[in-house]
Copies of this chain bind each other. A is one copy, B any other.
């Protein structure tokens, strides 16, 4: 990539970052191209030169965001924490990237076009899911997890928890309960039978 290309790429990044920040704060529909242009210090037309339409811009922002989120996810998995610790992080980490975006983004992509969703599912199936499976299998080998449980069910739990936690007001109130929640996950609401 020559200097020219690089500058172009940098400008594109600026726009993506500006759009992402605004989308996350105010939602996709409330943000106008003009606002993104102002925040990114370019003209509206420049955005059209790079992204062709608002629709398209949203799509690219989404891809950009998904990739970033995947990175954070992998950071946790490759770390050398013990199994329960990793689970805890997966459940309770409030992705820096994720924040509030889910709700509106998801909604928009669901309703407006499916290509964004497809991309996310592709990434998820190809990249994230196998890593989860590996993790759970390790957990079973190490005796942390009942071998009869389906990985999907466990995964479901973790995702539900994590998504719920992304909501600011939920996150605040959940911190004091962390230990109890982990206990439920490991031992269920019935509790440990023998101590």
Interface residues of A (CB under 8 A from B): 26-27, 29-30, 100, 102-104, 106-107, 110-111, 139, 144-146, 148-150, 152-154, 156-157, 159-161, 163-165, 167, 169, 173-174, 177, 180-181, 183-194
Contact = CB atoms under 8 A, between A and B. Distances in A.
A156 B181 contact: yes
B186 A157 contact: no
5 closest A-B pairs by beta carbon, nearest first, are A146-B191, A153-B180, A160-B164, A188-B188, A187-B188
A189 B189 contact: no
A189 B111 contact: no
A34 to B, nearest CB: 11
A100 B108 CA distance: 12
A157 B144 contact: no
Nearest to A177: B153
A70 to B, nearest CB: 19
B193 A185 contact: no
Where chain A touches its partner, the secondary structure class is helix
A167 B38 CA distance: 35
B184 A187 contact: no
Given A153-B177, A180-B149, A189 B186 contact: yes
A111 B187 CA distance: 38
24 contacts: A26-B111, A27-B111, A30-B111, A106-B167, A107-B107, A110-B169, A145-B189, A145-B190, A146-B191, A148-B191, A149-B191, A150-B177, A152-B173, A152-B177, A157-B181, A160-B163, A160-B164, A163-B163, A185-B189, A186-B189, A187-B188, A188-B188, A192-B193, A194-B194
